[in-house]
């Protein structure tokens, strides 16, 4: 059994034939999935879908690339959506300096990130963190504002050393398709070094399909391919990866 801790089944790519994508994931042994929002609309859709299946859950929040033109009451809106019983985390939230070079815009990302960590703490929920080319600032904020229910560094792309710093704070490290890419050195080093008790897996579908499906539409059903590669790197049975990551996800998200 597997848990896909990060899907975007709320995205347009899945709007047709969603029940089929979900059934295919189940057939592949993916028994629970978390659908992650990136703005108000996608968060509402995540909650709506999660309420249609007992084994689906939702996360709600503002992705750092979706902060433009937010209404005054944006945080109140997210809080309200987060009150649904199927919402298990605040996310995805964080910093993206890869797409955002402007310093004012980066400052705004930090402000919204901090604010959403505070919301997660008020609501007693873990956070799902997106961080791209913003390793130092992301760590500093999490270290200072400490998510009380912890959280996960989703599709982790930082260094192995930084991964261990997060582990020390109680955060989980989640690996996605890139760990399977032939030329991807760093995610493989991360997979080797992160202890099993701190490891999660995800597809981040529809993005980043694992090898040998790279470049195609990603689906939750490909999750076992990611587990296989991590098992090879750690030189243990794939069943152990399945068991540890499932138990970790159940504990972190209370699912």
What residues line the site for Zn ion (CB under 5 A)?
204
CB-nearer residue toward Zn ion: 152 or 230:
152
CB-nearer residue toward Zn ion: 3 or 231:
3
CB-nearer residue toward Zn ion: 129 or 242:
129
The answer, yes or no, to whether the previous bond of 92 is cis (omega within 30 of 0) is: yes
Burial class (CB in 10 A: 0-12, 13-18, 19+), 67: middle
Helix (H) or strand (E) holding 129: strand 127-132
Q: Least CB distance from residue 204 to Zn ion, whole Å?
A: 5
Q: Least CB distance from residue 207 to Zn ion, whole Å?
A: 7
Contact by Cβ (8 Å): 144, 167 = no
Q: Least CB distance from residue 155 to Zn ion, whole Å?
A: 7
Q: Least CB distance from residue 111 to Zn ion, whole Å?
A: 21
CB-nearer residue toward Zn ion: 117 or 231:
117
Q: Least CB distance from residue 130 to Zn ion, whole Å?
A: 6
Q: In the chain, where does DSSP find H-type helix?
A: 18-27, 40-50, 74-82, 103-123, 135-145, 160-169, 185-193, 223-234, 238-253
CB-nearer residue toward Zn ion: 209 or 233:
209
Report DSSP letters for 177-224, one per residue: GGGGSTT-HHHHHHHHHS-GGGEEE---BTS-PPTTSTTSPP-GGGHH
């Amino acid at each position: 059994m597997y848990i896909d801790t990060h899907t975007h089944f709320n995205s347009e790519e899945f709007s047709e034939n969603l029940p089929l994508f979900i059934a295919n994931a189940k057939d592949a042994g993916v028994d629970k999935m978390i659908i992650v929002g990136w703005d108000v609309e996608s968060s509402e859709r995540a909650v709506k879908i999660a309420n249609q299946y007992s084994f689906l859950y939702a996360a709600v929040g503002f992705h750092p690339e979706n902060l433009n033109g937010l209404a005054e009451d944006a945080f109140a809106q997210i809080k309200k959506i987060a009150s649904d019983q199927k919402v298990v985390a605040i996310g995805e939230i964080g910093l993206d300096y890869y797409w955002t070079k402007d310093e004012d815009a980066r400052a705004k990302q930090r402000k919204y990130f901090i604010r959403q960590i505070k919301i997660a703490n008020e609501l007693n929920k873990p956070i799902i963190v997106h961080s791209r080319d913003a390793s130092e600032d992301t760590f500093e904020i999490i270290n200072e504002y400490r998510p009380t229910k912890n959280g996960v560094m989703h599709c982790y792309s930082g260094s192995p050393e930084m991964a261990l710093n997060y582990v020390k704070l109680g955060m989980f490290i989640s690996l996605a398709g890139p760990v399977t890419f032939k030329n991807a050195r760093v995610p493989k080093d991360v997979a080797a070094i992160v202890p099993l008790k701190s490891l999660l897996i995800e597809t981040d579908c529809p993005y980043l399909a694992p090898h040998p499906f790279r470049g195609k539409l990603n689906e939750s059903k490909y999750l076992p391919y990611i587990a296989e590669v991590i098992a090879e790197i750690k030189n243990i049975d794939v069943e152990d990866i399945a068991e540890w990551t499932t138990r970790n996800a159940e504990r972190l998200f209370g699912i």
